[in-house]
Amino acid sequence: MTKNFDAIIIGTGQAGPSLAGRLTDAGMTVVIIERHHVGGTCVNTGCKPTKTLVASAYAAHLARRADDYGVTLGGGAVGIDMKKAKARKDAVVNASRSGNETWLGSMKGCTLLRGHARFESARSVSVNGEMLTAERIFINVGGRASTPDLPGIKDIDYLTNSSILELEMLPKHLVVVGGSYIGLEFAQMYRRFGAEVTVVEKGPRLIGREDEDVSAAIKEFLEAEGIQIRLNAECIRFAPHGEDIAVGVECTSGAPEVVGSHVLLAMGRRPNTDDLGLDKAGVAVDSRGYITVDDQLRTSVEGIWALGDCNGKGAFTHTAYNDFEIVAANLLDNDPRRVSDRISTYGLFVDPPLGRAGLTEAEAKKSGRRVLVGKRLMTNVGRAVEKGETYGFMKVLVDADTKELLGAAILGSGGDEVVHGILDVMYAKAPYTVIQRAMHIHPTVSELIPTVLGELKPLE
């Protein structure tokens, strides 16, 4: 049997449900298809569960430091009840997931269909043997952990960002393979829960996409918490080792092998496009499987759009949501919003967190502009000192000729929030002097941004 709708949406991640809301508000009939949990990665195995567990880890960390603040806890070592921490995480995730389900259920003209969707043609999709047709199809299938075919990987059990969230026990020694955004959050979290943790990174530094000073500062505070970091691990391989797992690292220094009780693979993501039948619809993908889209997120086939992680234009919840806004604006509001209008921004939720906006120092240098830089260590930020959280620094980049703000890295207490003041002025396309002359609240981390902007120096 074939059912016709005005629109088909594949995936209930960060773009699909909001788009279903706008399309149904416009009077369209919509079917939205989900093969797993409503809410997608962010809600179920990404942002929400990790940030909930990061909060538990932070509580444990502060409790261990209680004495630094003159707080007494009544003796005894700080422990973690993993079952309870997981239950707290599950409650947050389940509330969000069911909130999304209720929301979708409340949309007039929206059908939520459970199952795996596959294109049969450019206008039809099959789900559980049922054929659905529509003039407009929106792909919001997201991505999953990539598991490279490393030597020995088939001989061991390993964890991914999804399966590690189901643990109710504390690994004795967690080996995190991949020293980037996802891996580092888990590494610090599990160290604070009380596990021994080693991070194995094949590159010469952590989070290689960031500036070297950012990588170095994060390495410093992770090591200060007792996390072992093995860089230049060029030949990562695995082998069972009794009850444990041996991870071959062949680093330039240190033992050639690390033996851990658990391995977390955090080596990047891949799009969920391999089992979608895109060839039947004629939708083009790039060499890594990301769906090719234009500045309005239209694919190579008219009437088909791709939103979120699967189009390779972003890898965040806010980029997926912004994709929804762009598609809805163009389709429904006669508002020509574009992907190229947005400014790169994201957080790394280690503690203290990194808030990033715009260009890195390396990118600014490469741009050929005359660049000014302002930098201040968190040890010179009153509020950070008062809170006893003085790791990190703030760095802001400015175009010497146009006075435009080019980018910022705020690594430190509240850095994930503080960076938005800079980001908003970047969107306003106002000169940096607007922030430099603004009066900020004392005592905050943000109050030092005008100071940093008053001390700009040429970037060497």
Distances in Å between the alpha carbon of 52 and those of 2, 69, 163, 166? Answer: 42, 24, 16, 13
117 is a site residue for ligand FAD (CB under 6 A) = yes
Q: Which residue has the tokens 């391989």?
A: 237
- Nearest Cα to Cα of residue 15 among 6, 4, 23: 23
355 is a site residue for ligand FAD (CB under 6 A) = no
Instruction: List binders of ligand FAD among 126-155 (CB under 6 A).
Output: 140-143
List CB contacts of 271: < 8 A, sequence separation 6 or more.
141, 142, 143, 285, 288, 289, 290, 291, 309, 310, 312
CB closer to ligand FAD out of 210 and 309: 309
List CB contacts of 444: < 8 A, sequence separation 6 or more.
383, 414
201 is a site residue for ligand FAD (CB under 6 A) = no
Amino acid letter for position 22: R
Among 100, 317, 330, 436, contact with ligand FAD (rule: CB under 6 A): 317
Among 5, 11, 138, 191, contact with ligand FAD (rule: CB under 6 A): 11
Cβ 353 to ligand FAD, closest distance in Å?
A: 10
- Here the tokens at position 305 are 């759009």
With residue 216 as reference, give the H or E element that holds it.
helix 212-224
217 is a site residue for ligand FAD (CB under 6 A) = no
Active site residue 262: no
34 is a site residue for ligand FAD (CB under 6 A) = yes
**What would the 3-class secondary structure string for 251-306 be?**
CCCCCCEEEECEEEECCCEEECCCCCCHHHHCCCECCCCCECCCCCCECCCCCEEE
CA pair distance 127, 298, nearest whole angstrom: 23
List CB contacts of 359: < 8 A, sequence separation 6 or more.
367, 397, 406, 407
12 is a site residue for ligand FAD (CB under 6 A) = yes
40 is a site residue for ligand FAD (CB under 6 A) = yes
Residues that bind ligand FAD (rule: CB under 6 A) add up to a total of 35
Q: How far is CA 80 from the centre of its chain?
A: 25
Among 50, 180, 322, 446, contact with ligand FAD (rule: CB under 6 A): 50
180 is a site residue for ligand FAD (CB under 6 A) = no
CA pair distance 415, 71, nearest whole angstrom: 26
CA pair distance 179, 194, nearest whole angstrom: 19
Instruction: List binders of ligand FAD among 250-269 (CB under 6 A).
Output: none
Stretch that binds ligand FAD, among 18-26, 29-37, 212-220, 414-422 (CB under 6 A): 29-37
CB closer to ligand FAD out of 184 and 435: 184
Stretch that binds ligand FAD, among 20-28, 39-47, 63-71, 220-228 (CB under 6 A): 39-47
309 is a site residue for ligand FAD (CB under 6 A) = yes
8 is a site residue for ligand FAD (CB under 6 A) = no
Phi then psi for residue 270, to 5 deg, are -135, 150
308 is a site residue for ligand FAD (CB under 6 A) = yes
349 is a site residue for ligand FAD (CB under 6 A) = yes
Instruction: List binders of ligand FAD among 264-293 (CB under 6 A).
Output: 272, 276
Active site residues per annotation: 442
* Chain contacts with ligand FAD (rule: CB under 6 A): 10-15, 33-36, 40-42, 45-47, 50, 116-117, 140-143, 161, 182, 272, 276, 308-309, 315-318, 320, 349
